[in-house]
Structures are given as structure tokens and as C-alpha cells.
Structure 1
Amino acid sequence: MFVMCVPASGIEKYRLNTLHRYGILDTECEDVYDDMTRLAATACGTQVAWIGFVAGDRLWFKSTFGFERDEIPRDFALCDDALARSDVLVVRDTRADERYAASPLVAAGPRVRFYAAAPLITPDGYALGCIAVADQEPRDLEPAQADALRALARQIIMLLEARLAETLHRRALDHASDIIYMTDERGLFTFVNPVAVRILGYELDKLLGRHYLELIRPDFRAAVEELYTNQFKLRDMTTYFEFPALAKDGSEVWFGQNVQLLTEGGHVTGFHAVARDITLRKRVQDALRQSEERLRQALQAAQGGTWDYDLRTETFTWSDEFYRLLGLDPGSCEPTVENWLRCVHPDDRERVRVQTRRALRTYNEVEVEYRVLLPDGAVRWLHGKGKKVPGEAGGLTRYAGVVLDVTA
């Protein structure tokens, strides 16, 4: 039985990933490739020529001349030896070569006797397929004919590179203000857009081929790696995560990042990421948290409480200290207007109700001083002040306020 198949290996796996990245498999016929097979047959004086890509257990034809076929089993093909070479392979007489004599293409069918092929080698060194010529009579290949096959092979690779560049460029245009990059399945950068280069400060050639984890702040690397490892295993097409990266100058840059799996023919070939610089937002959030903590501590020292009223949902939120100022245990009742007014001294209740309603109805700031009647019968004087808070779109969405104990 004739079997000539490269065994599955790490190199073969990456070769297939590279092939899938170009997105050429199972595409429609294109005149530019048909012109090349016609030129190959004419230059070499053969009846048959083809451009084929080796994908798994098949040889898929992008273009054929002298026969019509979409693909054949890889075991039937004569291309694996060509893929293992860096130059043109010439087999003068296939029947006289034990590597090919038992092939169905030689022993039957088209009865190929002469075969020559130039490997299609990518810039990173992977042979994806070949441009080949064949005939039914033994013969030699002239040096000029071999040069023609080499030139055509280089042109095919240039077409593939242009195809990939166009795809990447189109994606980049869709997200011109965002950071865009791609990795292979190992996590090595294969494409990085100018925005990423500008923000991180690295030269492009210092990023390509580098592992993405090297740019992430060390204490976040394990979490990021776990997230994207699970995305890969579970085939979760899109994820979002926020993490700090380190620029070339050592400064910290926060990214909010969407990552999408890249697949071709059911195979995961890498990741496509769109990230946004959220450093300013993170700094504002950190400053706000610190400010809120300082306010909480100050209010606690001054025996003050805080409240928040959402105008859209008409719901209150009370701080623990506000509950205590009302003489209640934190969380002991729902924070509503009614429950608050029940705590207000009966002699002040109606006045406070009117003042508060008027302020909320007219969207004015509210300031009111009143007494609360504590469960033990004691009276406490409180001074409350509320301020309107604009939403993200600029409209008024909520009130926020503080309450202080002003009992003499």
C-alpha cells in the first residue's frame, strides 16, 4: 500500500495553523491563480499544472490546468517530499522512483510519469503546499523552467500575504481608535496595530513573536492566563477582561479587552483582541473609592450618615450610620420614605414631608432640620442636606445626601 504522509507533530500543527490563518482553503476560483497555473504549464511545456495546499489528510487545489478536481486524498498526492524541501523538486520518471511508483496517480488514473513542484514557503518558514507541473512522459526540467516555478511560488506567497494584510487592515479600520492585535494559538503576537505600539511604546518588531503574558503586570498573569486558557478549551468565542499591562518605560496601562477566538475549518488558530485604554477611568474610580472611604471615616467620626435616592426606581439606600441616627439597627427595615418619616418627630413630620416632596418635584437641592424620636423616647436633632447628581448622559437621575447629628 502506498502511504506518504507527514506524521502529526508540533511542526505540522503550526504549519496547519499558519495555513488556516491565510483563509485560502475552500475559497472560490480566482483568475490570478488560474493565470499562474496556465503560465506554469506553458513555461514547463506540460499538459498539467496545479496550485495545491496540503490541509490535514487532503490536497486541496486552489487552481488546476489540464484537469478538473477540487481535492484528492493526501496519500494519493506527490507533494509531501516537495513540502520537506526548500527548492524545486524534480522527479524525471516516477515509475523508476520507489517513493512514487505505487502512487495511484502513477500506477493508474492520469499515469503521471514526470513531476516537478516548487514549495509555497511562508515568510516564517512553513511550507503550505506547492505549485506543480506533470506529464505522462519522462523528461527533464530545464534550469529556466525551474526558475519560472520558483518565481511563481514567490508570487503565490505574495498573494497570500496581501490577502492576510487586507483582512487585518479591514479589521483595523473597524476599530481605528482601539488597540488591535492577533496571536497564534500559543499566545505569540502575529499582528499588532499602531495604536498598541503608540500606547505601549514598543517598536513593532519587539512585539511580534512575543508572548502576550510578558506585557501583563506579574500579579495579574495567572488570572489572565487562566481566563484565556479556559476560553480556548471551552471554545468560548468572546470574553471581556480588565487588567494592567506594563509599557516599555515601566508605566502601568489598564486595558479593557474583548478577545475573540480565531477559527478556520473548526480549528482554533489564535486570538483576535480589541482593547481600550481605560487607565483614566481606573484612576478616577480609585480616586472616588478613596474619597468615599475618607468621607465615610469623616462621617463616622462626626456621627454622620449618608443616603442615596434613585429617581428612576424611586428607591433609597441608607448607610449603616444613617440607620443608627434614626435609632434603628442597620438593615432592620427597608430604606423607604415612609420608614424614614415614621422616625421623624410627629410635630416635624408634615413639614419635613412637604419640604422633601417640593425639592424632589422641582429638582432642587434639599436641606432640612428635624427631630427624630428614638425607640427609648429620647429626641435627636438631625440636619440633612441632599444634592442632585447628574447621570452619564447629563440628565438628573439621583439625589445623594448626608445627615449629621446636631443635637445640642
Structure 2
Amino acid sequence: MKYHISHYNKEAELNFPDDITIYDTTLRDGEQTPGVCFGLEDKLTIARKLDQFKIHQIEAGFPIVSKKERESVKAIVNEDLDAQIISLARAKTADIDAALDCDVDGVITFMGTSDIHLEHKMHIGRQEALNMGMDAIEYAKDHGLFVAFSAEDATRTDLDFLKRIYNKAESYGADRVHIADTVGAITPQGMKYLLTELRKDVKIDIALHCHNDFGLAVINSITGLLYGANAISTTVNGIGERAGNASLEELIMALKILYGKDLGFKTKYIKELSELVSKASNLEVPYNKPIVGKNVFRHESGIHVDAVIEEPLTYEPYIPELVGQKRQLVLGKHSGCRAVKAKLDGCGLEVSDDELIEIVKKVKESREEGKYINDDVFKEIVKSCSKEE
């Protein structure tokens, strides 16, 4: 299937890694959204849908948090999904033991590495932090786990220390190291520099966990992939602490459509997945949210609608069915004859040209008076404009 995407994209020389891993943290970082607490059935339903979507890894939770959290992570493991199930653990043996009790495939063990975190959160020095991190990696590897080591607040960490701790993690057998942009403090240009520097020394996989405080989580993730990262953390609908995380749907569709990097995901389930998470989290998806918002494939402006009726790609970068959406032509003050005629055809109604002009006029007036033009209102307008008694 061909998409009408800017031809200028092809002029850029882009080098994505051959293999990219997407690990979704909706059930962990997404649940850390203030006010959000997923029930067991919600977690299972979301995990199943993520697996149906063909996600690579599911970060199922943070087992040390509570007994119920461990039960939910264990329940997801017992679903025997195709996705690898991983969980979060501080650089502490108790946290890793809690993960082991859940029979997860792997852990992301993390600790703050920036000076501000070391001083004000952990109250330890760099050497002690390094020792703690390595002890955790060694313990988890000794128990047969996939191990990712995450440097919390990595994007505000001294570069020499960051290289040192990642190199040490690699030597201790870590399978992957994570760059956590904990407060969304890096730019795409900064990400390019950081990855370029790290790749001079770090040979194992590098993952990115980007927060969206400045609206840059997705583009920072994509930039990271172009310059040395090969794994990305996402959440459905971009939920998470503060401004949230890199949005799963935005990242996947940008890679697929704009960059031509199709990772094989079943994108037709994106809308269903978004609705599941929205309902479970009680967080409404903004109407203008990219990919999954209600307005993404809705058209009102008469000039736009005329073109969309003839060729949808004039005002849509891809067909809505690709992400489980549907196109809608919305009637309002900007509607013209062609949009109203399309609505009439959809309702199986026939009118004269004079009646059509009158209906368009009434549609505009009704919307400006504050009425939303749903099917019932539209049919009332058509009836009022009909010359037949």
C-alpha cells in the first residue's frame, strides 16, 4: 500500500538499526500517572491486547510495591503470551527477589546516576552507586534473568560517569542499558550527541525511556534510534508521570508511515488498545490526540470535505482503517453542498438543488446557534426544508 508522504523525506540519509525492540510500560509507568490504579482484569485485558498487537516486551509492573502488584504481574506471566514479560526493580536484592517470585523473563534494575539524584534522593556518592548497580546486575544474572540496567536521570548525568557505569554494566553481563530521560530534559540534538558518544564505548543494546515534559518524547526516541539506540519504551496514549511518556501509537505510526520502518505490529488494534487504556485509567483521550483522537479523521471544512470525498489522501496522511479508525464527515458552519449531499446520500435521502442550498444554509445557522448536527438534528433540518407536505 502506498501513502502520499512528503517526497523530501527520501532525501534524508537515515540509518535505523535492523532490529528494534519496543517495550511497553503502560502497566508500570503508565500506572504511575497520578490517580491511576489498574485492576487485575484491566491489566490482563491490556496485556492481552498488547500481545495481540505483537508488542515485543511488556513491562508488567513493579512487584516490590505490594502483594497485589506481585499477583497481577504473576497473572500476566501465567497468560503465556508471546511477548517477553519484564518488570521493574530497584538495585536491591529484595526487589529482584520479588520479580523472581513472579517468574518474569527479565528485570529492569534502575538507580539514579545524576548528581542531583545521588545527593538529594539516594544520599550516596558515585562509587557507592556504581557498586550497588553492579551487585544488582550480578544477582539478577545469577538467577537467569534478562537484565536491563537503567540509569535514572541519565540525560542529566555526567557523561564520563555515565560511560563508566554503562561499561561496567556491560562487563557484569547486562543485556541492555537504558537511558532514562526522567524529566524530559534532552533535545533531539542532545540525544544525537549523547548516543554518538556512548556508542564509542558501549557495545550492548541501548534503550531509551523518554518523558514528554516538553513534548519531545517521540522525536527524541526516533532520533535516538538513528544514532545508536535499538530499544524504545512507550505507553499507550502516552500516559505516565507528569506529561507522560513516548506514545506507543505515535512512535509506531511515525516510524511506519513517515520513516518507512515497519516493525510488523498489528496496527489495526491501535484504536481498541487506546480505548481500553483510556477506560481503565479513566483518562479521556484528547479529541486532537495524534493517531487515536476522535478528530484525527473527522472533516468539517467545506473546502477540505470536497477534496476528501474525491481523494481522502488530500487531507489524510494514511487511511483510518490502518489504525482501527473510521472517517467521518462532520456537518457545521464550514460545511458546503458537497458535504451535505454526501450526508444525504448516506441517509438515503433525495432533495432538489434548491432544497440542498436551503439545507446547507440551515445547517450553518443551526451550528452557529450552538446545536451539534447529529443525525436526528440533520433529519429535522431536511424535513423543514422539504417542499413536500
TM-score (normalised: structure 2): 0.26
Higher RCO (C-alpha under 8 Å, 6+ residues apart)? 2
Larger radius of gyration: 1
- Flag the structure with higher strand content: 1
Higher helix fraction (1 or 2) = 2
* TM-score normalised by the chain length of structure 1: 0.25
